[in-house]
């Protein structure tokens, strides 16, 4: 599989050892509401919430008070809803909770606190770091001046994994309106945001995620769809000095109406950010915005093995894929920039930009760059609309991207590509044309592997199990002759292939 962030603490290990003696508190069978259940619980206890919609003051404004509790639904977020009725947020963590303080499997909607931050959840560490875990939750229609769904402030380091953020808003006004879904703000702030989906969130800066101050996020395996901002960074905005790693993420149809960065904006003097194994499709910087895919205004940013296709800036000469302003530093290595509107790369006022071993439509000066068609499978996807999740930015056939990148450029600790397949796969059907010893890395987010050995039936991504990732790949190839998704080999991806996959399902 793709890169996964794992964290183990002494607190969580202790909680596991103590679980045999922990109490299980049922809501509403044992306690009538969530506030009463939390008050009755001690660290290590489990709060099991029955199906239903939970309303009223005793089911919002909830604080664990430093307790490490496992609060979760009985049957998943579709069946268990906290409705904050636009009167408060759902949860506050500010008392040194560890990663064993877990909220799982809830839908939290209509959160709107009186204070500035965190429409649904506020993590605001004090003397001790707050490290809660939010897992498999749905955050929908929440709003706040900063962090429409979740705000992370102060001394905090949460893990947010396998969550959905839908139509949350960071409200404009004064210096506020940042992070339509998640806001990270201040010194000693970190976060691991893993496997999440951000759909139709909005703000005045960072449509889905906004980072400010010395915060240090890791954003991995996330999908950003149709997020928007009236400012910069339709999906993600990284500002102020720190380090950020964005890996294995997909950006579809996000928009910026400010200076630019249809998908991402980096304005972080003194910072170094890395964007690796990411795909950008159908993002747009509106009006006179720069950088349909990515805008870099200050700081240092590295784009490594990314594929940027079908994006558009506000005007033809403003960098359909990427724009960098004077004072910023940018390196683009092993990437594909193709089919974006107008100039692929624009660097007004400061033309120095380090592009190596990349494929750039129209060509670009630098080491070993190519201007040959990379043979992307289907930039617009089956629906013929760029910027939707069926866009297929893999390469096929004798693509010049295969085995032609620079192994030396791969300076990150990841071992897989966007699809979770091993990097440095040697395709024996094409000659090695890149830098390094065999196997030579491909250019772009995908490592082409047409002859993958040892993959079980239904295991499309060849990661050893048959799960939702394989299902998504099959549905992405529906109605086509995609050889990876055509599990029964009849020449078309259809219901018979779905039956094969479900029959091999491991989850």
What residues have CB less than 8 Å from 17, skipping those under 6 apart? none
Q: Looking at residue 12, what is its pLDDT?
A: 44
Is it the case that residue 475 has pLDDT exceeding 60? yes
Q: Looking at residue 493, what is its pLDDT?
A: 87
Q: What is the pTM of this model?
A: 0.86
C-alpha–C-alpha distance, residues 58 and 35, integer Å:
5
Query: pLDDT digit string (tens) for 102-133?
Result: 999 999 999 999 888 999 999 999 889 999 99
Query: pLDDT digit string (tens) for 328-345?
Result: 889 999 999 999 998 999
- Residue 177: its H or E element: none
- Walk me through the domains of the chain, giving residue ranges and CATH numbers: 452-507 (1.10.1330.10)
Q: Looking at residue 187, what is its pLDDT?
A: 81
> Nearest-CA neighbor of 307 among 249, 255, 349, 253?
249
The full DSSP string for 298-342 is EEEEEEES-EEES-B-SSTTS-SSEEE-TT-EEEEES-EEES-SS
DSSP state, 101?
A: -
Mean pLDDT of the region 200-211: 96
Q: Looking at residue 334, what is its pLDDT?
A: 98
Mean pLDDT of the region 220-235: 97
Query: pLDDT digit string (tens) for 236-283?
Result: 999 876 688 999 999 999 999 999 999 999 987 767 889 999 999 999
Phi-psi domain of 343 (left: phi exceeds 0; alpha: psi -120 through 50; beta: other): beta
Q: Looking at residue 4, what is its pLDDT?
A: 35
C-alpha–C-alpha distance, residues 106 and 75, integer Å:
9
Q: Looking at residue 21, what is its pLDDT?
A: 67
Is it the case that residue 134 has pLDDT exceeding 50? yes
Please state at what angle helix 495-503 crosses helix 468-476, rounded to 10 degrees: 170
Query: pLDDT digit string (tens) for 42-94?
Result: 999 999 999 999 999 999 999 999 999 999 999 999 999 999 999 999 999 99
Query: pLDDT digit string (tens) for 447-468?
Result: 998 755 446 778 887 777 888 8
Is it the case that residue 408 has pLDDT exceeding 90? yes
Kindly report the three-state secondary structure assignment for every residue of 267-299.
EEEEEEEEEECCEEECCEECCCCECCCEEEEEE
Residue with token string 């679980």: 19
């Amino acid at each position: 599989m793709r890169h996964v962030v794992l964290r183990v603490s002494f607190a969580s290990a202790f909680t596991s050892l103590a679980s045999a003696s922990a109490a299980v508190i049922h809501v509403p069978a044992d306690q009538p509401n969530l506030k009463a259940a939390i008050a009755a619980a001690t660290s290590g206890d489990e709060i099991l919430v029955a199906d239903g919609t939970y309303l009223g003051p005793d089911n919002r404004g909830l604080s664990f008070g430093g307790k490490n509790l496992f609060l979760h639904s009985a049957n998943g977020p579709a069946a268990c809803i906290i409705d904050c009725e636009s009167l408060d947020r759902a949860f506050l963590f500010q008392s040194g909770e560890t990663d064993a303080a877990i909220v799982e499997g809830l839908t939290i909607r209509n959160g709107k606190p009186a204070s500035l931050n965190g429409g649904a959840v506020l993590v605001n560490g004090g003397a001790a770091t707050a490290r809660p875990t939010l897992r498999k939750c749905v955050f929908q229609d929440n709003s706040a001046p900063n962090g429409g769904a979740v705000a992370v402030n102060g001394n905090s380091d949460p893990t947010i994994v396998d969550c959905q953020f839908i139509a949350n808003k960071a409200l404009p006004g004064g210096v506020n309106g940042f992070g339509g879904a998640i806001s990270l703000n201040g010194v000693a702030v970190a976060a691991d945001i893993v496997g999440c989906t951000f759909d139709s969130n909005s703000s005045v800066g960072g449509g889905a995620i906004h980072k400010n101050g010395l915060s240090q996020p890791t954003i991995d395996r996330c999908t950003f769809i149709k997020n928007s901002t009236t400012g910069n960074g339709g999906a993600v905005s990284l500002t102020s000095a720190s380090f950020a790693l964005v890996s294995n993420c997909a950006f579809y149809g996000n928009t910026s109406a400010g200076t630019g960065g249809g998908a991402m904006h980096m304005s972080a003097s003194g910072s170094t950010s890395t964007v690796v194994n990411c795909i950008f499709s159908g993002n747009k910087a509106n009006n006179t915005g720069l950088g349909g895919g990515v805008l870099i205004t200050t700081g240092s940013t590295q784009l490594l093995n990314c594929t940027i296709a079908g994006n558009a800036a506000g005007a033809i000469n403003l960098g359909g894929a990427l724009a960098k302003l004077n004072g910023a530093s940018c390196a683009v290595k092993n990437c594909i920039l193709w089919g974006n509107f107008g100039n692929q790369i624009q660097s007004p006022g400061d033309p120095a930009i380090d592009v190596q071993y990349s494929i750039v439509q129209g060509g670009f000066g630098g080491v070993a760059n190519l201007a040959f068609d990379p043979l992307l499978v289907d930039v617009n996807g089956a629906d013929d609309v760029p910027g939707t999740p069926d866009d297929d930015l893999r390469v096929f056939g004798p693509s010049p991207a295969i085995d032609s990148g620079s192994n030396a450029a791969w300076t990150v600790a990841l071992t897989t590509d966007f699809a979770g397949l091993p990097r440095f796969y040697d395709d024996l059907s094409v000659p090695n044309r890149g830098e390094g010893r065999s196997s030579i890395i491909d250019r772009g987010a995908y490592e082409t592997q047409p002859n993958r050995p040892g993959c079980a039936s239904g295991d499309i991504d060849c990661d050893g199990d048959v799960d939702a990732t394989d299902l998504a790949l099959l549905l992405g190839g529906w109605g086509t002759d995609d050889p990876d998704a055509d599990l029964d080999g009849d020449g078309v991806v259809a219901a018979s292939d779905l039956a094969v996959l479900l029959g091999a399902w491991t989850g």
